[in-house]
Amino acid sequence: MHPITTVHYLALSAALLLIGTVGVLTRRNIVIILMSIELILNAVNINLITFSRIWHNMDGQIFAIFVITDAVAEAAVGLGILIALFRNKETVLADEIDLLKW
């Protein structure tokens, strides 16, 4: 049995970042876009905690808690806006929402 090393954590983080970026850039559904942003933030958290563990410093872990708090707030506000848009436009597709256009 091989131990889990830093490379494993960084590979997982890179995979999450790639999946999240592809999801943000290619999907039209706002719910999927929000979930992809959450994947990107989780990739950042994995990096923060990994390097915090390597350098024996708690700063990365504390900063990761702030990132998690920000992600929760972003999800709550994003879903609130999404519900309001769905009530007005009856769609969750990003291409069909043009409330700011004249």
Question: CATH topology for 28-95?
Answer: Helix Hairpins (1.10.287)
User: What's the whole-model pTM score?
Assistant: 0.89
Mean pLDDT by 10 residues, the chain (102 residues): 94 98 95 96 97 96 96 94 90 81 66
Q: Residues with Cβ < 8 Å from 82, sequence gap 6 or more?
A: 30, 31, 34, 92
pLDDT at 100: 66
Residue closest to 33 by CA, chosen among 96, 99, 92: 92
pLDDT at 7: 96
pLDDT at 88: 87
pLDDT at 96: 82
Residue closest to 35 by CA, chosen among 22, 51, 17, 23: 23
Domain boundaries, the chain: 28-95
pLDDT at 102: 63
Give residue for tokens 């999240």.
20
